[in-house]
Amino acid sequence: MKKHNFSAGPAILPRTVIEKSAEAILDFNGNGLSILEVSHRSPGFTKVMKESIALVKELLNIGDDYAVLFLTGGASTQFFMTALNILGDDETGLYIDTGTWSTKAIKEAKLYGNIDVIASSKDKNFSYIPKGYSIPKDAKYLHITSNNTIFGTQFHNLPDTDVRIVSDMSSDIFSRPIDINRYDIIYAGAQKNMGPAGTTLVIVKKDILGKTNRKIPSMLNYETHIAKDSSFNTPPVFPIYVSMLTMQWIKENGGVEAMNKRNIEKADIIYNEIDSNPMFFSPIAKEDRSLMNVTFLLHDSSKEDAFIAAAAAAGCVGIKGHRSVGGFRASIYNSMPKESVQALVNVMRNFK
């Protein structure tokens, strides 16, 4: 039976990427060694790192005033590493709280400076993106979580401000075009749209660094990793390699513009079914619904197990909602084909 992987992460990867990765595990570039055992300083992997950085810049239209890094520690390390590197003792970082991951980012950033939470959607269980708040013009940066994997909301427009933005894009990086000039830092854990868990993409404007007058441990200093081309210590070779293959796949399939069009089409299919099927409903404000993580509920919650069983029987796996919110979550990242979304919709119709 064909499996339709709706897992939120580690998430679906293009089939061709998996096949090429499997080949490289056995024999990388025909040199008789596995990608799992080649030196990170070998010519073969040095080429992989350079191409990965070049692909990030090409896909997101990034200039040389930004550094592209492949680090470790996940987005969770970036929650504090961003503030540690750019927030001075007498400066303020602004945060918009839209769910679990932004809440964690706020907690970690408070260790390194003054943090002001200027808006939150906690009052309605993070079911919308806040609007109508004021943004102090003298802030160092404004942090947002662009897509909220657990609750299923997404920023479809950036806040109206001249304050520079720091963004956690772990679950929607490469899913749509961005205006890089609005950002000082973008970070993203790989395990959604880019590759397997193990590496974290960081895009940082170089001229904002080295200005906090703070002693920063070498491993937590962006300037360390920029100087060493992401190889200050041994980088996660295999996740970076798979990320490179995934970015090649995105490029070959039309780039982020094409991904965005496909993602809108897929989301429309499932949201239309949720809105028209009397068994289901979405708790998320329509204008803030995520194109990556579709969250929905049954009006009769006692039937949840039965629906999950029906979905599994049709090969649809990974749809159980996060333990903190319950219900269902269909993650429809870049490499999720439209046919898989339709398979889940068919289950919903038959369940009705």
Q: Is 249 one of the catalytic residues?
A: no
Token pair for 103: 């809440």
State how far the alpha carbon of 148 is from the alpha carbons of 8, 88, 216, 247, in Å.
Answer: 11, 28, 30, 22
97 is catalytic: no
- Given the residues 172, 184, 192, 266, the one annotated as active site: 192
How far is the C-alpha of 26 from the C-alpha of 49, rounded, in Å?
Answer: 20
C-alpha 111/C-alpha 113 separation (Å) is 6
Distance, CA of 87 to CA of 120 (rounded, Å): 21
Is-catalytic flag, 168? yes
Ramachandran bin of 328, using left for φ above 0, alpha for ψ from -120 to 50, beta for the remaining angles: beta
Neighbour-count burial of 340, counting CB atoms closer than 10 A to its CB (0-12 exposed, 13-18 middle, 19+ buried): buried
Per annotation, catalytic residue among 97, 168, 172, 288:
168
Alpha helices, H only, 237-315: 237-252, 255-276, 304-313
Q: Give the residue numbers marked as catalytic.
A: 101, 168, 192
